Structure 1
Amino acid sequence: MTASRHPLRVLFSLVRDERGRVIRATASSVVNKLFDVMPEILIGIALDVVVRGKDSFVAKLGITDPVQQLTLLGIATFLIWFGESLFEYFYQVLWRGLAQDVQHRLRILCYDHAQHLPTSFYEENRSGDLVAVLNDDINQLERFLDRGANELIQTFSAVVLVGAVFFIVSPLIAVIAFTPVPAIIAGAFWFQRRAQARYDAVRARAGGLGARLTTNLQGLQTIRAFGAEARETEALTRESLGYVEANRAAIRVSSAFIPIIRMAILSGFLATFLIGGWLTLTGQMQVGAYGLLVFLTQRLLWPMTGLAEIADLYERAMASTRRILRLLDEPRAEPHGTHDAPVSGRFDLDDVGFRYATSPGGVNGICLSIGAGETVALVGPTGSGKSTLIKLLGLFIRPQKGCILLDGVPLADWSGERLRRAMAWVPQEVTLFTGSISDNIAYGRPGARFSEIEAAARMAEADGFIRALPDGYDSQIGEYGQKLSGGQRQRIALARALLIDPAILILDEATSAVDNETEAAIQRSLAKMKGRRTVILVAHRLSTVVHADAIHVMEDGRIVQSGSHDALVARPGLYRNLWNIQTGHAEIEAEM
């Protein structure tokens, strides 16, 4: 599935295994339109009965009494209206159900694809744009399938059915009445070409508006803290007005379509009205036939005004589909290998380098060995490459040069499933999910026993505050864990990581924003697991790493110092300078 494919083909591919339902829906639309056209035919027949009586068309069927003829027409009218209503119900249920299923499939397809995109995609794109694709764009596609597909089929059916009647009754009037149809179709294509760029702009504006809303709602406390409500409202107003203006530009094109089509319809209607009237007055056409053609001209041409709305829905849907395809065209993260064996946690890095395409950050020339069961710390100033290095170790990004071995095997050759079971990650910004504390701790092992959840919480020193809550482990944490403090969220995140019993535990600034009590609790937890698993710490707060087996100091993407805390403090350099600053010493080393 690539963006070079026409968006309409994507829709067809999504309903390929629903051919039976598509056929039933299409048949229901056609039959409904057949019944919808029949009342005009009955009106023409009724006029024929009233004017000609026993010589009418119905009389030729063997019913000569005009009252009986009208009674028969009344029964036929009832059956036709009943049939029209019945098949309208059928096509509504079938098309709408199909639209919902396509919407569901496409949303899941996009979400599953998004889960496997590389980290760089999320660093370079706004989450609000992705939410807009998964929500608004897919909903736009659903709206087209819900209404537009049926309208297209019924418009085509009306042209065929009414056209057949016209050519049977009067080929001359049929040719004249159909004269506006090419102009209407040409107008629809003209509109489609003019509208495409405008609707692409509408969808882009919708993504920007969604991104702004997502960011502001997530940062509401910060907005309030800085008294920036008015400023943010003004910024959102600009985004919203941009979206409104983009829609207005599209509306100006779509609104011009119906008046143009009305004039084309008028020419066809007047031709039928005048020429048919002349043929009737001269005795070349029956009154009933004339009434039939006048009514059917409206039935033939008027629905074509709906082409404007259909084209509008279509262009909005195609603009959304193009955005969806651009997401699906994003290459997934490279697949992992197949090596599957118990992990001990030994890393060897040889001349590893990585640079970001859109920023100067990265690492270069990293040579490093981490023994299984060691606790290793990465420290250094902001932008020194610490986060990039642990992303490389966690295989969230791949080195552009050099090699990373895990237990002597290239990291990329390991089975992804094995790696995720063997590694656990505790980030600086903890993500908790709506639900209970127990659910969040068991996120990596949904089937874990309660006793195992408790054990993990005790190891993370979270059991005490959890039990103090009114509902204990069943306490609901609220969206993003907002009912808990930052330190409590960190300890739950640590418990969640420990529950899967990983061979490798990575803590990315896990203590940077917590209180002293939480930091001490995390340090005690790390002390308990020392030697039992490989622990890689990234920290600004050096008090967290003093007991690490080895500390590697990074600067400008390189490791500039390595050693224990005592050894590094004992000699001049960046580490001792950072330590002196954090411990309040006035003396700052000049040597780096």
Structure 2
Amino acid sequence: MSAHPHPLQRLFQFARPYRAKAIWATVFSVLNKFFDVLPELLIGVAVDVVVNQQDSFLAKFGLVDPYEQLMWLTVLTAFIWIFESVFEYLYALRWRGLAQDMQHELRQAAYGHVQKMAPDYITNARSGRLMALLNEDVNQIERFLNTGANDLIQVACSSIMVGAIFFALTKSLAVLAMLPIPLILVGAFWFQKRLYPRYVAAREAAATVSTRLNNNLYGMATIQAYTAEAHEQLQVQAASDDFRARNADAIRFSAAITPVIRMAILCGFVATLLYGGWLTLRGELGVGAYSALVYLTQRLLWPMTRLADMTDLYQRSMASVARIMDLLESPVPPDGAKRIEQARGALQFEAIRFGYEPGQPILHGIDLAVPAGKTVALVGGTGSGKSTLVKLLLGFHAPEHGRILLDGESIADLSKQSLRQQLAYVAQDPFLTDGTVAENIAYGDAQPDRARIQASAEAAEAHEFIAALPNGYDTPVGERGSKLSGGQRQRIALARALYRQAPVLILDEATSAVDNETEAAIQRSLARLHAARTMLVIAHRLSTVRQADQIHVLDQGRIIESGTHDALLVANGAYAALWRLQTGESTA
């Protein structure tokens, strides 16, 4: 497999629509630097006018009077400063605008790509790392485009322009003045190479502190309940001390870069001062030219003091580019092209085999029919494959063998959006967005129907507690529904599924973590929905599914029993054993 192109090349490919903006920004940066260098030359011309007067450089253009020369020199200086300021405004406007555009496009593209991936991808990639990518990495690129790109361009332009002036005036002095530049470049990259692992160690230590604090903030109730405050304080202190030590190591090293570069600059400046002065005293170099070269030496070499910062910013941004582009280039699960407008809700699982890891199958040839308008339940122990079947039905994964049909149509041929519009899903741990109760019930609907929201809540037996909230349906639920109890969140999730009015309702352990009252409310809601739509119910609590039209018992990826609740109790098999375990009742 060939290696990836350079991150800068990958960024250029992504930013193709913004190339015109980048080109104009570069042009304005170059023009700004051109007019920025000219004032040093004008200082030399001004000195030449004062010293040589009628024999000055400007006198060759017909301006014999020294006062007239100074007047025109003042006018020229004003125009140069105006143009320099105008182009500084234009390049800042272009670069910062480009930085904001790229920040927006990269974040949108990365997040959009993540939304196309299966939920397990987020788990495997670690949500914390993806958050860092969507925030810190994108912001790192924005910081580079904001200032770093312009700085690199202007340092290069300054070196070329000033070097050209030096060589035009005196080649020998040019060589002496520019001699420190290779040493500065080599030194900067030498330092940077050794700084990189220190920065990495410091960032890892900072991530450890952040993780520890984040974990403790979420678990503060448990920390306080177990009076573990002192213990956790020591843990945070140890992580913070480690970060401080690693950061100090990086700071000690990075603090030496600029002084070392200053010493190299001193060599170039002293060379210009002494050798240039010697040439001037011998009459081989004009006084004005000497003055200009002294100022230009500082203009040539002084920006090099920021070279370490510029290269650091560049390297960080290129690493961020590589991570974002790797995400954008990660393969997306295949999607079908067919659409289905309104399904009846008949489901068929045919010889389904699947495993998350090669050679470790979870499902072994599952055959299962869910007739339209019927309620079918899947029960069994943890790891038996119940939730995996739901993930396959939702299109999060594709079976290794076999197929799943919706109204006789293979879901592999349907677009995932079209498929999921026919399904309403209630998870064991429901996700609530940080909005109002009404916004969560009508989640995904661009034009919510208030009457339908209330009807859905009533059907889910959630209206009573919602009406008792401070602002009723307009009450904010907090981050992840933190202002509501677990049972309230679950009933809102059920109301959301009912609001969708999809032909297939999927409940994945929807009652396993709720209180008896909430379970009873959900059971009553499901009883009213019986025969109104197709329901696929996964449950640990068998009391939730006793009214199902058909119950299938899974064990290690295989269906070992099927039948109604009463028939399975009479059979006295695995289901009956589970029932006795949960209820203590006799099946006789």
TM-score between both structures, scaled by the size of structure 1: 0.91
Alignment partner, residue 81 of structure 1: 81
Alignment partner, residue 135 of structure 1: 135
C-alpha displacement of 1:427: 0.5
Q: Map Cα deviations across residues 364-413 of structure 1 (whole Å, 9 max, x no partner).
A: 23222222211111122222222112212222222122332222232212
C-alpha displacement of 1:347: 2.3
C-alpha displacement of 1:543: 1.2
> Which range moved further: 380-389 or 532-541?
380-389
CA distance in 1, matches of 2:426, 2:3: 37
Are residue 500 (structure 1) and residue 504 (structure 2) matched?
A: no
SS in structure 2 opposite 1:443? coil
Alignment partner, residue 530 of structure 1: 530
CA contact (8 A) 2:427 2:510 kept: yes
SS in structure 1 opposite 2:572? coil
CA contact (8 A) 1:180 1:265 kept: yes
CA contact (8 A) 1:203 1:320 kept: no
Matching residue's letter, 1:132: A
CA contact (8 A) 2:50 2:66 kept: yes
C-alpha displacement of 1:509: 1.1
Alignment partner, residue 296 of structure 1: 296
After TM superposition, list the pairs within 5 Å mapping 1:86-485 onto structure 2.
86-190=86-190, 194=194, 215-232=215-232, 234-235=234-235, 254-338=254-338, 340=340, 342-357=342-357, 362-485=362-485
SS in structure 2 opposite 1:430? coil
CA contact (8 A) 2:148 2:310 kept: yes
SS in structure 1 opposite 2:554? strand
> Which range moved further: 433-442 or 243-252?
243-252
Alignment partner, residue 28 of structure 2: 28
Matching residue's letter, 2:401: K
CA contact (8 A) 1:361 1:385 kept: no
C-alpha displacement of 1:100: 1.0
CA distance in 2, matches of 1:199, 1:358: 38
CA contact (8 A) 1:428 1:510 kept: yes
C-alpha displacement of 1:235: 4.9
Matching residue's letter, 2:153: I
Q: Map Cα deviations across residues 262-288 of structure 1 (whole Å, 9 max, x no partner).
A: 343333223222221111111111111
CA contact (8 A) 2:345 2:373 kept: yes
CA distance in 2, matches of 1:252, 1:162: 33
CA contact (8 A) 1:132 1:206 kept: no
CA contact (8 A) 1:444 1:497 kept: no
The unaligned stretches of length 5 or more in structure 2 are none
Matching residue's letter, 1:343: A
CA distance in 1, matches of 2:64, 2:267: 39
CA change 1:157–1:132 in 2 (3 A) is same
CA contact (8 A) 1:373 1:533 kept: yes
CA change 1:236–1:136 in 2 (3 A) is farther
SS in structure 1 opposite 2:366? strand
CA distance in 2, matches of 1:114, 1:237: 35
CA contact (8 A) 2:354 2:400 kept: yes
C-alpha displacement of 1:247: 5.5
CA contact (8 A) 2:547 2:565 kept: yes
CA change 1:491–1:331 in 2 (3 A) is same
C-alpha displacement of 1:223: 4.3
> Which range moved further: 392-401 or 202-211?
202-211
CA distance in 2, matches of 1:328, 1:253: 35
CA change 1:560–1:531 in 2 (3 A) is same
CA change 1:429–1:325 in 2 (3 A) is same
CA change 1:121–1:410 in 2 (3 A) is same
Q: Map Cα deviations across residues 175-213 of structure 1 (whole Å, 9 max, x no partner).
A: 332233333344455456555666666666666666555
CA distance in 1, matches of 2:558, 2:243: 46
SS in structure 2 opposite 1:553? strand
Matching residue's letter, 1:456: S
C-alpha displacement of 1:330: 2.5
Alignment partner, residue 548 of structure 1: 548
SS in structure 2 opposite 1:148? helix
C-alpha displacement of 1:315: 1.0
SS in structure 2 opposite 1:369? strand
RMSD: 2.8
CA contact (8 A) 2:442 2:499 kept: yes
> Which range moved further: 239-248 or 521-530?
239-248
C-alpha displacement of 1:570: 2.5
Alignment partner, residue 565 of structure 2: 565
Alignment partner, residue 9 of structure 1: 9
CA contact (8 A) 2:569 2:587 kept: no
CA change 1:323–1:216 in 2 (3 A) is farther
CA distance in 1, matches of 2:389, 2:250: 48
C-alpha displacement of 1:494: 0.9
CA distance in 2, matches of 1:196, 1:326: 21
C-alpha displacement of 1:91: 1.7
CA distance in 1, matches of 2:488, 2:193: 57
CA contact (8 A) 2:44 2:288 kept: yes
CA change 1:244–1:369 in 2 (3 A) is farther
CA distance in 2, matches of 1:430, 1:526: 17
CA contact (8 A) 1:457 1:495 kept: yes
CA contact (8 A) 1:133 1:324 kept: yes
Alignment partner, residue 61 of structure 2: 61
CA distance in 1, matches of 2:236, 2:374: 50
C-alpha displacement of 1:3: 7.6
CA distance in 1, matches of 2:173, 2:409: 82
CA distance in 2, matches of 1:325, 1:41: 45
CA contact (8 A) 1:200 1:319 kept: no
SS in structure 2 opposite 1:559? strand
CA contact (8 A) 2:47 2:287 kept: yes
SS in structure 1 opposite 2:421? helix
CA change 1:361–1:518 in 2 (3 A) is farther
CA change 1:195–1:13 in 2 (3 A) is farther
The unaligned stretches of length 5 or more in structure 1 are none
CA distance in 1, matches of 2:359, 2:215: 22
Q: Map Cα deviations across residues 81-106 of structure 1 (whole Å, 9 max, x no partner).
A: 33333322222222111111111110
CA change 1:212–1:466 in 2 (3 A) is same
CA distance in 2, matches of 1:132, 1:210: 12
SS in structure 2 opposite 1:334? coil
CA contact (8 A) 1:95 1:145 kept: yes
CA distance in 1, matches of 2:30, 2:429: 57
C-alpha displacement of 1:526: 0.8
SS in structure 2 opposite 1:444? coil
CA distance in 2, matches of 1:237, 1:113: 38
CA distance in 1, matches of 2:455, 2:48: 90
Q: Map Cα deviations across residues 518-574 of structure 1 (whole Å, 9 max, x no partner).
A: 212211111111112111111111111111111122222222222211122233333
CA contact (8 A) 2:570 2:587 kept: no
Identity of aligned residues (%): 52
CA change 1:234–1:107 in 2 (3 A) is farther
> Which range moved further: 476-485 or 214-223?
214-223
CA change 1:446–1:518 in 2 (3 A) is farther
